[in-house]
Amino acid sequence: MAGATGLVGRAVLDLLLADKRYSAVHCVGRRAPARHDGRLAVHLVDSFAGFKAPPVDDVFIALGTTIKTAGSRAAFRAVDFDAVLAVARAGRDAGATRLGLVSAMGADPNSMLFYTRVKGEAEQALSQLGFSTLVVLRPSFLAGDRESLGQPLRGGEKLAINLSRRLSRVIPLNYQSISADSVARTLVEEVAARQGHHVILSGDMQQR
């Protein structure tokens, strides 16, 4: 798993460690998650490029940043495209056949917007790696406890979440805010249950 120190990733990690189907969970990243468990192995890296994973069955990727946080478009792409692909390839080379990715609403390799274009390009690249199961989630604005992670709300996120809650009766499900826990639960459940390539939109996750 990659991205275990983020909002969705933290929830995914908790679910994986509670899941009896997994005898071990390997996390790769620049920082160690706060969670401790006898089945958890942490692999700290300065760069995801060149990372060699131990034998694994499934890969979960919840990596993501913003251009503001990253500092530049190039730095953003290094996380949301390069690191995502590096982790996926490492998992595939280690024997994984199933992959779950947390992407973003509007992801499209042909998008005019840089953020959604990079997300779409990452999805497209993953689809070509040969995983028998590929589950891509495209959540809307994420709601959750960012403060406990030392993360500020992302630009416009607080306003968007508040509006979404107040106008939930008129805003389509795909555009309403969604809890990080709901996204994490969908990811773990769908990777275990699906065959083939699937894209799950935010509204579909809301109904679970």
pTM for the full predicted model: 0.88
pLDDT tens track for 89-141:
999 999 999 999 999 999 999 999 999 999 999 999 999 999 999 999 999 88
Give pLDDT tens digits for 23-32: 999 999 999 9
Residue 172 has pLDDT above 90, yes or no: no
Q: Which residue has the higher pLDDT, 196 or 146?
A: 196
| 172: its two tokens | 């389509």
Structure tokens at 133: 């199961």
Domain that holds residue 199: 7-203
Tell whether 119 is covered by a domain. Answer: yes
Task: Check residue 92 and give left, alpha or beta (phi > 0: left; psi -120 to 50: alpha).
Answer: alpha
The pLDDT mean for the chain works out to: 89
**Residue 197 covered by a domain:** yes
Tell me the percentage of the chain whose pLDDT exceeds 70: 85
* Domain-located, residue 45: yes
Quickly list DSSP for 49-96.
TT--PPS-SEEEE-----HHHHSSHHHHHIIIIIIHHHHHHHHHHTT-
The pLDDT confidence band at residue 166, using thresholds 50, 70 and 90, is: low
Distance (Å) of CA 52 to CA 44, 49, 88, 91: 12, 9, 11, 8
For residue 16, the 8-state DSSP code is H
**Residue 208 belongs to some domain of the structure:** no
CATH code at position 164: 3.40.50.720
Domain-embedded: residue 186: yes
The pLDDT of residue 162? 58
Count of domains in the chain? 1
Would you say residue 158 lies in a domain? Answer: yes
Residue with tokens 């990733």: 9
b/e per residue 147-177 (b: at least 16 CB within 10 A): eeeeeeebeebeebbebbeeeeeeeeebbbb
1 lies in a domain?
no
In a domain, 127, yes or no: yes
What distance in Å separates the CA atoms of residue 157 and residue 23, rounded to the nearest whole number?
37
Tens of pLDDT, residue by residue over 144-161, are 555 555 555 555 555 555
